Amino acid sequence: MNDVMGLLFAYSDSKRMGQLSVPRTTSSIPFGGNYRALDFMLSNMVNAGCRDVGVVLREGYQSLLDHLGSGRDWDLSRKNGGLVLLPPFGYNPTMENRGYDASVKGKMSALINNLSYIRNTRKKYVILGEGRVILNIRLEPFIDEHIRSGADITMVSAAPLGESTRGIYVTTDESSRVTDINTYHSSPGQLESLGIYILERTALLDLIDYGIVNDMSYFERGVLRTLLPELHIHCKSHHGFVAKLQTIEGYFNSSMELLDRNVRRDLFNPDNPIYTRVRDFVATYYGDESDVTNSLVADGCHIEGKVENSILFRGVHIAPGAVVKNSIVMTNGKIGKNTFLNYIIADKLVTVTDDSMLVGSTRFPVVINKGHTV
């Protein structure tokens, strides 16, 4: 499927991600030992045949620039097109946009600011997606069904994700056509939008135009909702693992779900591989005295201590006598001798000095800021 482009919204305003979102935007939060949140939707798009993916950035994107680079690790480094970073701040009063009001919010604002990119990328279909939604989904069948169904838009949804507020919820009729859209709270029987929409590029341009003309601030609860009577939105459910990064607690629980073999098989399905930045670490070394159980461990770790129910990112060192339980240690973390960690999220480059003890709880995992020594 060469005739599809992706548009990935990689900004987000989740203040509830706390310290994890200080050095980065939510889409750039490390997840699952090897990845950043947006690697999942980006890989889904690439696997569906997208050779053009525009990534819409806003704030705190420096870490994403480093991570994505030229897009080569996703095979999106192209002479023309490929991975294109779309900074809304790059907004220029070019002729195309002249006279449009770009001061609206969120997705609508991002779409308006990138009108010329959408206009100039001459693919027939567009997939919209959000970087903070983590799932492994083969989108090709969705595109095929979209074409066959004759719907204006195909939306991918799931059972409501629970913890979230501000989700976009939809009611559907027996033919899976969306009949209502609301936000904040779901009613029984409603589905939650995963922010994945498949539609023709010209249809997207029409929707943006409608939003501009009618001065609407929101894409889903504004433009789509208003047009529901005439717009055929086909809703299709995804049944696999989904995580939507919104709170630290949710991040922690979703991460721990990866210790379940079925979740891993679904999220790391080798038929739909998830790509990430290649870092060239060596394999992980287990020392004589290491004792690791029920844990997910990335490359480049050096483990001499005890690790249980935990996730170790690349290059983590666990010194002899250390005990790490129910914790997440991000890239290049150094956990000193005779330490005890339980329910801890250690951001990148954290050093825990010898003989320290740090304990959080399931409901309140303690975050150690990026680069800190404790």
Partner 1 sequence: MIKKKTCVAMLLAGGQGSRLYVLTTNVAKPAVPFGGKYRIIDFPLSNCINSGIDTVGVLTQYEPLQLNSYIGNGHAWDLDRMSGGVHILPPYMRHKSGEWYTGTANAIYQNIPFIEQYDPEYVLILSGDHIYRMDYTKMIAYHAEKNADCTISVINVSLEEASRFGIMNTTSDGVIYEFEEKPKEPKSTLASMGIYVFNWEKLRKYLEEDEANKESSNDFGKNIIPTMLANGEKMVAYEFEGYWKDVGTIDSLWDANMDMLAPNSGLNIDDPDWRIYTRNLALPPHYISPEGRSSHSMVAEGCEIEGCVEDSVLFGGVKVGRGAKVLYSVLMNGVEIEEGATVEFSIIAENTKVGKNATIGSDEEIGKITVLAANIEIGDGVTVNAGDMVAENIGGGQ
* b/e per residue 104-127 (b: at least 16 CB within 10 A): bebbbbbbbbbbebbeebebebbb
H/E stretch holding 109: helix 106-113
Q: In a 3-state reduction of DSSP, which class is residue 354? A: coil
Phi, psi of 62 (to 5 degrees): -55, -40
Nearest to 30 by CA among 271, 298, 260, 262: 298
In whole angstroms, how close is the CB of 164 to partner 1 at the nearest point?
Answer: 25
Query: In the complex, what is the shortest distance from the CB of residue 310 to partner 1, in angstroms, rounded to a whole number?
Result: 10
Q: Report the partner that residue 92 touches, choosing among partner 1, a copy of itself, none (CB closer than 5 to 8 A by kind).
A: a copy of itself
Q: Which of 67/225 has CB closer to partner 1? A: 67
Give, as ranges, the residues between 64 and 103 that touch partner 1 (CB under 8 A): 72-73, 75, 77-80
Binding test (CB under 8 A) with partner 1, winner from 89, 184, 285, 364: 285
Closest distance to partner 1 from the beta carbon of 112 (Å): 26
Which region, left, alpha or beta, applies to residue 182 given φ > 0 means left and ψ of -120 to 50 means alpha? beta
State the nearest-atom distance from the C-beta of 61 to a copy of itself, in Å.
Answer: 9
Residue 210's binding partner among partner 1, a copy of itself, none (Cβ under 5 to 8 angstroms by kind) is none
Question: Which lies closer to a copy of itself via its Cβ, residue 115 or residue 151?
Answer: 115
Residue 90 binds which entry of partner 1, a copy of itself, none, CB below 5-8 Å type-dependent:
a copy of itself
Q: How far is the CB of 106 from a copy of itself (least distance, A)?
A: 22
Q: Considering the rule CB under 8 A, would residue 116 count as an interface residue with partner 1?
A: no
Residue written as tokens 């990689």?
10
> Which residues neighbour 34 within 8 Å (Cβ) at sequence distance 6 or greater?
276, 298, 299, 313, 314
Residue 190 structure tokens: 């409603």
Binding-site partner at residue 328 among partner 1, a copy of itself, none, CB < 5 to 8 Å by type: none
Helix (H, G, I), strand (E, B) or coil at 304: coil
Residues in contact with a copy of itself by CB under 8 A are: 23, 62, 65, 69-72, 77, 79, 85, 87, 90, 92, 94-95, 278, 280, 371
44 in contact with partner 1 (CB under 8 A): no
Q: Which of 298, 312, 266 is nearest to 40 (CA)?
A: 266
Which alpha helices (DSSP H) does 158-229 contain, by range?
201-213, 225-227
- In whole angstroms, the minimum distance from the beta carbon of 307 to partner 1 comes to 8
Task: Look at residue 364 and give the partner it binds from a copy of itself, partner 1, none, a contact being a CB closer than 5 to 8 Å depending on partner kind.
Answer: none
Q: What are residue 30's phi and psi, to 5 degrees?
A: -65, 140
**Residue (136 or 332) nearer to a copy of itself, CB:** 332
Could you tell me how many residues make up the chain?
Answer: 374
Decide if residue 22 touches partner 1 (CB under 8 A): no
What dihedral angle (degrees, nearest 10) is formed by the CA atoms of 82, 85, 91, 97?
Answer: 30
**What does residue 372 show for φ and ψ, rounded to 5 degrees?**
-80, 150
For residue 327 the two structure tokens come to 């914790």
Q: Which stretch binds partner 1 (CB under 8 A): 14-22, 85-93, 137-145, 292-300?
A: 292-300
Assess 286 for contact with partner 1 (CB under 8 A): yes
Binding site for partner 1 (CB under 8 A): 2, 32-34, 51, 72-73, 75, 77-80, 259, 261, 264, 267-268, 273-276, 278, 280-300, 302, 311-312
